[in-house]
A and B are shown apart, each in its own frame.
Chain A
Amino acid sequence: MTAGTSPMPFSLGYGTNGFTDHPLPIALELLAEQGYGAVALTLGHPHLDPFAEDLDVQLSALRQQLDELRLRVVIETGTRFLLDPRHKHRPALVDEEAGIRLAFLRRAVDIAAGLEAECVSFFSGILPEDTSAETGWQRLTTRVADIVDYARSRNVTVAVEPEPGMLVQTVSDVLRLRTALGNPANLRVTVDIGHCVVVEPAGVRGALLEAGPLLANVQLDDMPKHRHEHLPFGEGAVDLPLALATLAELEYRGVAAVELPRHSHDAPGLAARSMAALRAGWEESLRTRDLERWLQESATAVSADRGSLTRVFAAAGRRLGRGPLRPEADPSGILFGTTSDHARGQLIARLRDILPEEELAETLLALYDGGDSAERRGVLRGLGALAAGSPKLPAAVVAAGLRMTTEALRTNESGLVAAAAGPFAAAHLDQHSWRHAVLKLVFLGISLTAVTDLRERADDELARMAGDFAAERRAAGRPVPDDVHLILASSRTPTSS
């Protein structure tokens, strides 16, 4: 409803180091076609040789194509074997000898000036084994001072990228370097959100906030928690919606480009899937923002006037939408509920801090009894949130919760029955009623994904019931739902199926 209307304030791009099996002009066309508004151009093989004799001619053709495709550009310098064909990323700024590295970075600044790029991004390098950190910092500081001065003369911004395992590996390291250099205005920060889950103590959000207004360049990718490996979105530990929301909160207006340097073999597919993931992540971040605002407003309103709750609760769907919470896994919204079911549930969880115990129980009952089906699902999801948040709920709340849960389990409405089989039922419903709830889900054709702690609570008696049910279905010549087998597998000593 309200989500999905505002565009991202920054420009999404894609790194050319993820397109090394395509000529640069073709890669740029593909990116524009997929909806990208920027490109992160890595200098060197195979796309743009920074030391080519006809560099000026190449740059003006490139500038023209960027204009035609309306692409913004940032310059990346992380080519692996450009300067030393035998050693990756050598020589580095922290090495004893770094003359060609400096010459290359000056050339990168020239190219950025020629292309009117937003910035040149570079990293510090891995400290050689025999070198102390102190020496490394000394080398780095002197050399970066040189690059910053040169870039200033060409009116170019440079951005240092922290890399796991390098001398500068966190945003605070970059800030330390910047302080040592007297905080030059054209020295700023690149953040790779994947790196953050590996090395940043305060995670993606913390690192982005720390960079704050100094953020000049962003790289987007997923990454596992303990290994520096760039992965497609959804395959690692990065909270993409949170990262995008944080960029928006910082009013970041620059380029945020996908960084998948080991995926050129499927570049067009990944560019498309990354764009889809980024759009979905953005939509989710807007929904989260709307939800948080609604929860805060509602909690404030209810604290001031308890009587406002009925109206606030009823209006959740209009305000936040009624679509499925997890549309891909659950298109009908029955298993995991809808956006408004979730919002109502979260509001109930917050009521625990607003209302005294007795009043909480009465309020839950009043909301349930006076609610339509959607509101009742919301109350049931709220009971789940309360139970999941605290192993010991007040007795009055448990009693009220049991009344509502058993009532919901008596209905034939799939959404209500599914919502009643969550964490509250797992924690508080007696075994007999719980077994019947599970069987009812199977009977109604609702996936047992809706059941919390199925494995923990399944027992021989449930297996017997499921077995009898399967026999009945077979006798009627009807198919046996897969979930019956799941129950039989979940029980400790399964009887015959």
Chain B
Amino acid sequence: MRIFDPHIHMTSRTTNDYEALYASGVRALVEPAFWLGQPRTNVGSFIDYFDSLLGWERFRAAQFGIRHHATIALNPKEANDPRCVPVLEEIPRYLIKEGVVAVGEIGYDSMTPAEDEAFSRQLELAREYSLPAMVHTPHREKLAGTRRTLDVVRESGLAPGMVVVDHLNETNVEMVKDAGAWMGFSIYPDTKMDEQRMVAILRTYGTDRMLVNSAADWGRSDPLKTVSTAQAMLDAGFTADDVDKVLWRNPVEFFGQSGQLILDPIPGFDAAELPDAAAGFEGNSVLRGVRA
């Protein structure tokens, strides 16, 4: 079983996590640019962070046989600090880089005028650079925030198929589906979504345009939630092909629109050696292949 995690913040994770991801079948992932938990105070802090996403983190992932991609943006929370906003002028040069597969995470945190401006400016950049956009929905006021998000996307003229609206749940999935955008779900240990609720949503809304991620970061989270969701799908009677669609082909199709997805196997790692879904996920914990 091959898995593509379309949203995971590996910068905050350890090499043990990389080993566990590879052993469970994760072969590719997307790391969206976000904040550090501690607010940034200047543009240089973004630059070093963006560079490390495209440099050190990609290198680190490759040591464990995993293709690492990134999305680049000024996140909504930090869009409220005028010391950080000038980073918008630096972002275009990152959008032409290899493996930069979307503009993101963008969207709303507190729905301020500053967030409005950064959001629409970055949707424009997505259009200009022919990249998809990864749009985050707010933790508070989720329903109103999603509605307003979809309005701004519509006004931007960016095709809805080029947008994923992330961190959805039962209350706002239909609205995003109707708008024609991709639907992202973050499976967390307690908050956001869990595996069983995810399976129920897939039953109700089907597997088209559905993306499942762990959104694992420095908070309490679990990078293997994509894997356990895949198992929950199989337990609930979804086929291996359904699992492959939601956890591999869908993210490949969505981010593939950037033309910047790199999926050929990493030298030294055997592309064919994937854990057998039927044999369970715990059976194979050995990191295969030679470390580059």
Contacts and interface: CB of A to CB of B under 8 A. Distances in A.
Interface of A: 310-311, 314-315, 317-318, 322-324, 331-334, 370, 372-376, 411-415
16 contacts: A310-B93, A310-B96, A322-B262, A323-B264, A332-B267, A334-B292, A372-B51, A372-B55, A372-B97, A372-B99, A373-B59, A374-B98, A376-B55, A411-B55, A412-B56, A414-B59
Interface in B239-279: 259-260, 262, 264, 267-268
B93 A372 contact: no
B56 A318 contact: no
A318 B260 contact: yes
Nearest to A311: B96
A311 B128 CA distance: 14
A372 B267 contact: no
B267 A333 contact: yes
Contacts of A323: 264
Contact of A332 (B55, B96, B97, B268): B268
Nearest to B260: A318
A370 B93 CA distance: 8
A413 to B, nearest CB: 5
Nearest to B58: A373
Contacts of A414: 59, 292
Contacts of A324: 267
A311 B51 CA distance: 17
A412 B55 CA distance: 11
Interface in B174-228: none
Contacts of A413: 55-56, 59
Interface string B90-127: 00010011110000000000000000000000000000
A414 B62 CA distance: 11
Contacts of A375: 97
B54 interface: yes
A110 to B, nearest CB: 54
A482 to B, nearest CB: 16
Interface in B117-170: none
Nearest to B50: A372
A322 B99 CA distance: 12
B292 A332 contact: yes
A185 to B, nearest CB: 50
B10 to A, nearest CB: 15
Nearest 5 Cβ contacts at the A-B interface: A372-B54, A373-B55, A332-B292, A332-B267, A314-B96
Central interface residue in B51, B54, B58, B267, by most chain A CB within 10 Å: B267
Contacts of A376: 55
Contacts of B55: 372-373, 376, 411, 413
Central interface residue in B54, B55, B58, B264, by most chain A CB within 10 Å: B55
A335 to B, nearest CB: 11
A369 B99 CA distance: 18
A314 B267 contact: no
Contacts of B93: 310, 370
Contact of B54 (A373, A411, A412): A373
A314 B97 contact: yes
Contacts of B268: 331-332
Interface string B42-72: 0000000001001110110000000000000
A373 B61 CA distance: 13
A415 to B, nearest CB: 7
Given A311-B96, A314-B96, A372-B55, 19 more contacts: A310-B96, A314-B98, A315-B96, A317-B98, A318-B259, A318-B260, A323-B264, A324-B267, A332-B292, A372-B58, A372-B99, A373-B55, A373-B56, A373-B58, A374-B98, A411-B56, A412-B56, A413-B55, A414-B292
A372 B264 CA distance: 19
B173 to A, nearest CB: 35
